């Protein structure tokens, strides 16, 4: 039922991103669709994620970030003259 509700309003769970916040709170990083999610809690200028899968969203976000900021794989042969 949850997917049907989200699909009808334009929410795409595949685009959810989150990070650990203060205490046990989880910050929603999907600002463009947070207002469409029935599990987001508006607070200040952002949202907290209360979704049952929020820990999974954190893991996905961390994996994607590590790929973006990882240094390029430079082999030893590139440094030899």
Query: Cα–Cα distance between 18 and 28 in angstroms, integer?
Result: 5
Give domain status of residue 34, yes or no.
yes
Domains held by the chain: number = 1
Contact between 16 and 25 under an 8 Å Cβ cutoff? The reply is no
What residues make up the domain containing 22? 18-65
Closest to 58 in 3D by CA, of 24, 30, 12, 18: 18
Give domain status of residue 31, yes or no.
yes
Give domain status of residue 58, yes or no.
yes
Give domain status of residue 9, yes or no.
no
Closest to 46 in 3D by CA, of 58, 62, 34: 34
Express each pLDDT in 21-70 by its tens digit: 888 899 999 988 999 999 999 999 999 999 999 999 999 999 988 887 66
Give domain status of residue 75, yes or no.
no
Give domain status of residue 38, yes or no.
yes
Residue 16: count other Cβ atoms within 10 Å of its Cβ: 24
Does the pLDDT value for residue 1 go beyond 50?
Answer: no
Give domain status of residue 7, yes or no.
no
Give domain status of residue 81, yes or no.
no
Judge if pTM exceeds 0.85.
no
């Amino acid at each position: 039922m949850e997917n049907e509700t989200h699909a009808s309003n334009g929410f795409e769970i595949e685009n959810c991103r989150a990070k650990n916040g203060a205490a046990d709170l989880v910050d929603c990083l999907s600002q463009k669709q947070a207002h469409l999610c029935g599990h987001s809690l508006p607070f200040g200028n952002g949202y907290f994620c209360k979704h049952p899968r929020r820990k999974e969203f954190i893991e996905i976000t961390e994996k994607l970030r590590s790929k973006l900021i990882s240094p390029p794989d430079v082999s030893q042969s590139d440094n030899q003259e």
